[in-house]
Structure 1
Amino acid sequence: MTNVVIASAARTGVGSFGGSFANTPAHDLGAAVLTALVERAGIDKSEVSETILGQVLTAAQGQNPARQAHINAGLPMESAAWGINQVCGSGLRAVALGAQHIQLGDAGIVAAGGQENMSMSPHAQNLRNGYKMGDVSYIDTMIRDGLWDAFNGYHMGQTAENVAQQWQISREAQDQFAVASQNKAEAAQKAGKFKDEIVPFTIKTRKGDVVMDSDEYIRHGATIDAMAKLRPAFTKDGSVTAANASGINDGAAGVLLMSAAEAEKRGITPLARIASYATAGLDPSIMGVGPIYASRKALEKAGWKAEDLDLVEANEAFA
């Protein structure tokens, strides 16, 4: 089977909800990342044969936001560009699909990743046929389309409560995990560990240009004492809080994929080889344990065991 490698990688800084990227469409963030991917790999824009970007919140963002990012980055109009929505797994799924297309011979060089602007997700109401009487309420498309379990009718936070109850994960354990995560992120940021991967993004304001080149959401000085004081966010006697849950953020990230043979021919030293990938489904009410089953499948495909891994990066939706 064709070995697929990552020729370059890039991301924007992660903006806080209503922060620096509050008025910047996701496809503009995506375009900045796509531009950087090509530049960092040292290839010509015309050589990108396909772009695949994950995005969950697309209401009022215009047709095919992935295509908008692709065109705005100056990539070929003759190349395909499309989006995928697999909720939190969208970006990684885009990368897996890109690898598959290369392995099948359907594409040579693929840009893949994700883009999202939760701050710009609108409130909405169906007024297509008018509203004859009474008050009108609006839905929050950010919550309805991104954070709401459509099968059970409750917030993703409740699914985390379900997991905590079923597997007996205490509030204290969740807080400790969350504090450790924030502390590690703070230390890495202060040490400049993220600097090379972030694409500086210029935002025009009335007071002049502002350059966004760092993650806004990292909580510096997070302590277990401060975190323990927060009330449960979803159930009265629950354990999930605003602090041990992931934030609402804006940003984009991506990788440039090609075959190992193509990279060697071009003299590109790959950042990594994609050894395997996998997806898995399960009961939506306990969606948070999905990565366990997907990871087991991915390890089996690669012929590895968990103890063979030196580094694990996980999507920390809820501690």
Structure 2
Amino acid sequence: MKAVITAAKRTPLARQNGLLKNAEPHDLAASLIKHLAKPLNGILDEVILGNVVGPGGNIARLSALAAGLPASVSGMMIDRQCSAGLEAIRTACCFVQAGAGSCYIAGGTESASLSPFPGRARFSPDEWGDPDMGIAAELTADRYRITRKMQDDYALLSYKRSESAFENGYYDDEILPFQGLAADESMIRKRPLENIIERAKPVFKKGGTVTAANSCGIHDGASAVVVMNEEKAEALRLQPVLRFVDSAVAGVDPNVPQISPVPAIQKLLKKRNLSVKDIDLFEINEAFAVKIAACAGELGLPYHKLNVRGGALALGHPYGASGAVLVTRLFYEAARRDNLKYAVAAIGSGGGVGMALLFEKNV
């Protein structure tokens, strides 16, 4: 059985303690679930959501009930750190292909603003080293020889791509307004990007290369997609855009987790006898510019195929929702392109775990 994605949406993304600071994570998700469930004619099997920073419990079940779904629709929460939202979509696709169910809403939701946890979880044991993400980004820069200029150049490219996507209305396709907010908080007013990037100081290490301007911000938000059996989608006259092909997960040294998408992508492409040249679009979460520069360098991946509508450096990183944001972006970008065949969404997580999903465009 083939798993396809027939719909995708996300909320606007807002800075931690910003415009969505009072929005509960289950309310963010519930708004998407309610919208996405409308055309499904009551066939939804389960809601699967990623979440990282709380409040705990089964937030997928809570969100499903808050969305007004019947009690018969179950829910499952996944925490794989930053790849939680992508894992939720992967799990739904695998369930469909295994015949465990025919229709799922999958994605992630996060409110860093309302997190009950004062600090982060442990990613790895002391004998390995357990650096904070900023220090790990500096270690990645050192190990893979990524200079400050390389990071700043990519950050500026990403910012400009995000502004262009916003100005051309591409984000409007992705966003379901929430509580009167219809645009990402960071896009509401323009900033002097070149000056900000040039003047930014290292924030994690004296004499380092990683700054606030070439790192993502912590944000609140949610994103979700509808994953269905292809035959069921046809029966409901829903038009799939993406068809799930395969996935891979790989681990790396937890001191350099930013490089973890590389072995995951390599493993995935090898399984399918494909190369980077065969893939038309890549979405890799922009937690840090050093991450993208290092991954692109190791993969031989040109920037014109990568994060073509910007990403987390400008829009922010809502942890467990970010992987679902990547797939939502691919969904709409694939819909706009006639000549697209393959697309990859990939993300790295604290502790050094990378994940990659391969999709083909439904034609």
Fold-level similarity (TM above 0.5): yes
Check if 1:165 corresponds to 2:149: no
CA separation in 2, counterparts of 1:166 and 1:79? 47
Query: Is the 1:6–1:270 Cα contact (8 Å) retained in structure 2?
Result: yes
- The CA deviation string for residues 56-89 of structure 1, in whole angstroms up to 9 with x for no partner, is 011xx25311111111112231222011111111
Question: What one-letter code is carried by the residue in structure 2 that aligns with 1:43?
Answer: L
- The CA deviation string for residues 205-245 of structure 1, in whole angstroms up to 9 with x for no partner, is xxxxxx01111124734433431211111000111111111
CA separation in 2, counterparts of 1:65 and 1:15? 20
Give the alignment partner of residue 213 of structure 1, picking from 168, 182, 206.
182
Question: What one-letter code is carried by the residue in structure 2 that aligns with 1:292?
Answer: V
CA separation in 1, counterparts of 2:264 and 2:236? 33
* Structure 1 position 185, deviation (Å): 0.5
CA separation in 2, counterparts of 1:35 and 1:88? 24
Q: Using a 3 Å threshold, how does the CA distance of structure 1 residues 54 and 242 change in structure 2: closer, same or farther?
A: same
CA separation in 2, counterparts of 1:111 and 1:85? 16
CA separation in 2, counterparts of 1:277 and 1:111? 18
Query: Is the 1:149–1:156 Cα contact (8 Å) retained in structure 2?
Result: no
Match of 1:262 in 2: 232
Shifted more, 148-157 versus 222-231: the winner is 148-157
Give the alignment partner of residue 204 of structure 2, picking from 234, 245, 253.
234
Q: Using a 3 Å threshold, how does the CA distance of structure 1 residues 94 and 191 change in structure 2: closer, same or farther?
A: same
Q: Using a 3 Å threshold, how does the CA distance of structure 1 residues 62 and 169 change in structure 2: closer, same or farther?
A: closer
Shifted more, 109-118 versus 67-76: the winner is 67-76
- Where do 5+ consecutive residues of structure 1 fail to align? 124-139, 203-210
Question: What one-letter code is carried by the residue in structure 1 that aligns with 2:185?
Answer: E
CA separation in 2, counterparts of 1:273 and 1:198? 22
* Structure 1 position 149, deviation (Å): 4.3
Check if 1:107 corresponds to 2:101: yes
* Structure 1 position 273, deviation (Å): 0.7
CA separation in 2, counterparts of 1:114 and 1:154? 25
Question: What one-letter code is carried by the residue in structure 2 that aligns with 1:197?
Answer: E
CA separation in 2, counterparts of 1:234 and 1:212? 33
Give the alignment partner of residue 60 of structure 2, picking from 61, 66, 77.
66
Query: Is the 1:9–1:37 Cα contact (8 Å) retained in structure 2?
Result: yes
Give the alignment partner of residue 91 of structure 1, picking from 85, 103, 106.
85
- The CA deviation string for residues 124-179 of structure 1, in whole angstroms up to 9 with x for no partner, is xxxxxxxxxxxxxxxx23xx23xx64533431111111110001000011011111
Q: Among the aligned pairs, what percent are the same residue? A: 35
CA separation in 2, counterparts of 1:305 and 1:76? 44
Match of 2:320 in 1: none
Q: Following superposition, which runs of at least 4 residues in structure 1 exceed 6 angstroms of deviation? A: none
Match of 1:192 in 2: 169
Give the alignment partner of residue 160 of structure 2, picking from 180, 183, 192.
183
Query: Is the 2:130–2:254 Cα contact (8 Å) retained in structure 1?
Result: no
CA separation in 2, counterparts of 1:268 and 1:187? 30
Query: Is the 2:7–2:226 Cα contact (8 Å) retained in structure 1?
Result: yes
TM-score (norm 2): 0.75
Question: What one-letter code is carried by the residue in structure 1 that aligns with 2:213?
Answer: A
Check if 1:43 corresponds to 2:40: yes
CA separation in 1, counterparts of 2:214 and 2:237? 44
* Structure 1 position 301, deviation (Å): 3.1
TM-score (norm 1): 0.85
Query: Is the 2:48–2:106 Cα contact (8 Å) retained in structure 1?
Result: yes
Partner secondary structure for residue 258 of structure 1: strand
Map 1:275-286; keep pairs closer than 5 Å: 275-286=245-256
Partner secondary structure for residue 210 of structure 2: coil
CA separation in 1, counterparts of 2:279 and 2:4? 18
Give the alignment partner of residue 56 of structure 1, picking from 46, 49, 52.
52
How many residues are paired up? 285
CA separation in 1, counterparts of 2:254 and 2:7? 34
CA separation in 1, counterparts of 2:107 and 2:10? 9
CA separation in 2, counterparts of 1:304 and 1:221? 40
Query: Is the 1:35–1:73 Cα contact (8 Å) retained in structure 2?
Result: yes
Give the alignment partner of residue 71 of structure 2, picking from 66, 73, 77.
77
CA separation in 2, counterparts of 1:170 and 1:220? 27
Question: What one-letter code is carried by the residue in structure 1 that aligns with 2:63?
Answer: A
Shifted more, 218-227 versus 274-283: the winner is 218-227
Question: What one-letter code is carried by the residue in structure 1 that aligns with 2:273?
Answer: G
CA separation in 2, counterparts of 1:55 and 1:189? 26
Check if 1:8 corresponds to 2:15: no
CA separation in 1, counterparts of 2:194 and 2:247? 35
* Structure 1 position 302, deviation (Å): 3.3
Shifted more, 5-14 versus 218-227: the winner is 218-227
Question: What one-letter code is carried by the residue in structure 1 that aligns with 2:135?
Answer: Q
Query: Is the 2:53–2:116 Cα contact (8 Å) retained in structure 1?
Result: no
Match of 1:28 in 2: 27
CA separation in 2, counterparts of 1:236 and 1:15? 29
